[in-house]
Structure 1
């Protein structure tokens, strides 16, 4: 069962990927609900205002998922989410969980989000190296997710856009299978539809242990 969902709205500068929590009830319901909530975002007038609106929509989805879990007797109905909002010469990144956003700029790939996992917290505290974290048995244990807690905290950052930037939003089904170097190589050539297909095919060929979703967004030279 595919528990991922995505949103592709170039007409209003909005993209998202959500990964329903495997092992928990109704992960596919959770990812679909949060993406449908974000789809209600109106055409942005100011980037900061759209960020606050998106945060409110995620918070409302969080409340709905908790209410559904309480009503059905399920422990958690949860999902991760990453969001890219673009307007003019800037963009905003929002995220909860371990789905990721990367940026390819001048042929260099950079991860722009920080995973909300127990292992990432240990890395931040200096208890583990990044290399140790990759193979740690608790690497997939989330410390934050939509639907997991009554109060949701959404991380966000603002980024300037440069002509030629390419952004990748993806669920962890991609990053579990492909190295950063391989992702950078695949992102570096081709148009977005072909790149997305290549990313998914390579992740499946490498093991495909989880659902794989990728959204690739190009910002043209100005």
Structure 2
């Protein structure tokens, strides 16, 4: 069934304005679309993100299962752990991804993340953040110790609590039906840390082609300061998914889009509306 899904995809990564080395890496080869943001400095961070991409690269061009994704995550964790052991500062990487899988005979996105790189869904004019950051700031928000509106001003908001290659590398994952007309955005925090969800939503709404949207998002992040590497993948579902009706509702196959399902030993959480 997933072979019948037609996509338009654009991927773009940029060093930004402040960094000497791009420690991000991207993979955009159906059925796997992935952004990795390396940590560990110029001598290790780029190696870590590339190792994550290499662990998943063998999945491109063929049908995949949740077991395939889990095995690739294990390979990535082993590879990054090996890199960390060779560097005094250690190494790690975030990962955020969406993989086309078949579930109950229907195409779904298996969305997963480790760290604070994100996956968003844009449908109509609405933006939903499908992933939940593994960061100190988000954990304090979830615990009720920090108000969401104060998160942007919290100095330690970007301290990562999970990473590939770290002691806690468990991925959270969600099974989300593929919808005709939807647009997915996968990005590193070089984008989401520089511009607001509302700015992301507006850009995805206004830009037609994925290439145009990707270029506009990177440009806006750089205009806002470009303090980190910036990576984006924009995916448009042309056909082959479920049909959204004109009044914004969807057929019964989309019920799990608001009651997401963990598939990779992660926790179950609802889809969250960005903005």
| TM beyond 0.5 | yes
Secondary structure of the residue aligned to 1:219 is strand
Shift of 1:69: 2.3
Residue segments in structure 2 that go unaligned for 5+ positions in a row: 1-20, 241-275
Does the alignment pair 1:134 with 2:152?
Answer: yes
Secondary structure of the residue aligned to 1:213 is strand
Equivalent residue number for residue 170 of structure 2: 153
Partners of 1:42 and 1:166 lie apart in 2 by 20
**Which of 69, 89, 104 is the equivalent residue of 1:54?**
69
Partners of 1:102 and 1:68 lie apart in 2 by 30
Q: How does 1:1-222 map to 2 (within 5 A)?
A: 1-10=21-30, 13-21=31-39, 23=41, 25-41=43-59, 43-45=61-63, 50-70=65-85, 72-87=86-101, 88-149=106-167, 152-188=169-205, 189-222=207-240
Shift of 1:143: 0.2
**Aligned residues of 2:40 and 2:89 also touching (Cα < 8 A):** no
Partners of 2:51 and 2:223 lie apart in 1 by 30
Shift of 1:198: 0.6
- The runs of at least 4 aligned residues of structure 1 exceeding 3 Å deviation read 22-25, 42-45
Aligned residues: 215
How far does the alpha carbon of each residue in 1:180-217 deviate from its partner, in whole angstroms, 9 at most, with x for none?
Answer: 11111111121001110010011101110100000000
Secondary structure of the residue aligned to 1:201 is helix
Residue segments in structure 1 that go unaligned for 5+ positions in a row: none
**Aligned residues of 1:177 and 1:207 also touching (Cα < 8 A):** yes
Query: Are the structure 2 counterparts of residues 201 and 54 from structure 1 closer, same or farther at C-alpha, using a change threshold of 3 Å?
Result: same
Shift of 1:221: 3.9
Shift of 1:43: 5.0
Partners of 2:26 and 2:179 lie apart in 1 by 24
Partners of 2:42 and 2:67 lie apart in 1 by 29
Shift of 1:42: 5.8
Higher helix share: 1
Shift of 1:89: 2.6
Partners of 1:24 and 1:154 lie apart in 2 by 25
Partners of 1:187 and 1:78 lie apart in 2 by 30
Partners of 1:145 and 1:131 lie apart in 2 by 25
Partners of 2:137 and 2:42 lie apart in 1 by 20
CA RMSD of aligned residues (A): 1.7
Partners of 2:50 and 2:60 lie apart in 1 by 19
